[in-house]
Amino acid sequence: MKILFVCLGNICRSPLAEGIARSLSSEHTFDSAGTGHWHIGEPPCKKSQNIAKRKGIDISNLKARQLSKDDLNKWDKIIVMDERNLNDVKQMGFKNISKLLKEDVPDPYFYEDEEGMDELFEMIKKGVETIL
């Protein structure tokens, strides 16, 4: 199965989900992308890299990219982080979409330092484990 995780900028939540998924399963193909273009080519934010590293996962080599029409038929599942991502991805014509969790996964982009990152990591991990 090929699974794509999607958030807004592809520097916080979706690379964390990708890293967690890769650490839990080698049976599937994983990637991540953002609906926005602001961070294309950038590594995950330091907060996401730091929490992943503390949990034994290295996501420092990932680079942000924007979701594109090329992704339309490439992925078995598109997993989004929140309602806004869900609506944006639907508008692009994707059909095989679901949210990671019933509730929105909060965007840590504006978190103060590492505040809330442990909870965010556990939230994303729970959703990834459920999908797998």
Q: Which distant-in-sequence residues (6+ apart) come within 8 Å of 46 by Cβ?
A: none
Predicted TM-score of the model (pTM): 0.96
Q: Are 16 and 46 in contact (CB under 8 A)?
A: no
| pLDDT tens column, 85-122 | 999 999 999 989 999 999 999 998 777 777 789 999 99
Catalytic residue among 71, 82, 107, 113: 107
| Helical pair 46-54 and 117-131, crossing angle rounded to 10 deg | 70
Q: What is the pLDDT at residue 95?
A: 87
Q: What is the pLDDT at residue 129?
A: 98
Q: State the chain's mean pLDDT as an integer.
A: 95
Catalytic residue among 7, 31, 65, 71: 7
Across the beta sheet with 29-34, the strand order is 29-34, 2-7, 77-80, 97-99
Is 45 annotated as catalytic? no
Q: What is the pLDDT at residue 113?
A: 73
Catalytic residue among 12, 13, 71, 88: 13
Is 13 annotated as catalytic? yes
Is 107 annotated as catalytic? yes
